[in-house]
Structure 1
Amino acid sequence: MAPRTAQSIIKNLCLRAGLEGVHVHSLRHTAGYQLRKMGASERDIQDVLGHQNIATTQIYTHLLAADLRKKLPKRFAHARQGRLDWK
């Protein structure tokens, strides 16, 4: 299958699902983010995504850190109340 054909199929599926603004490249970002979230090293993610420069791969590390910063205040609020909810 040609890359343009795959892009067209994915774009049409996303539009049918009501997901505007989703591009094939978004899937790469999602894959990198999820790999990091599951504990993959930056070097492993670099290999999987084919990045030549580790700085490109580190974008996913920063996204994960930003995600954690959003969640931590909520978690610590539960801890101050005597319970901790990591869901």
Structure 2
Amino acid sequence: MANKCLELGYFPWTWKLAAIKVIPKPSKDNYTRLKFYRPIVLFPLRGKIVERMLVGRLQWHLTPKLQATQYGFTPQHGMEDALCDL
């Protein structure tokens, strides 16, 4: 499925539709105001699976091409690595 999406350059729009659920925040006295609720966005599982597979594939191809000093948003690299290079 992920291969077909990549091959066709198509991601079905129904996989992008999200359901928004409103959940009350705990320990509030009055639930008449919107600020006492928290929205939770639920995306379709198929879309999430395909997106994760494509992200993994992109990381596999692009990570070796990154500079050694690229620390932000890079797996197994962080602030500590950047500080050690200073």
Q: TM-score normalised to the size of structure 1?
A: 0.33
> Which of the two has greater strand per residue?
2
TM-score (norm 2): 0.33
Larger radius of gyration: 2
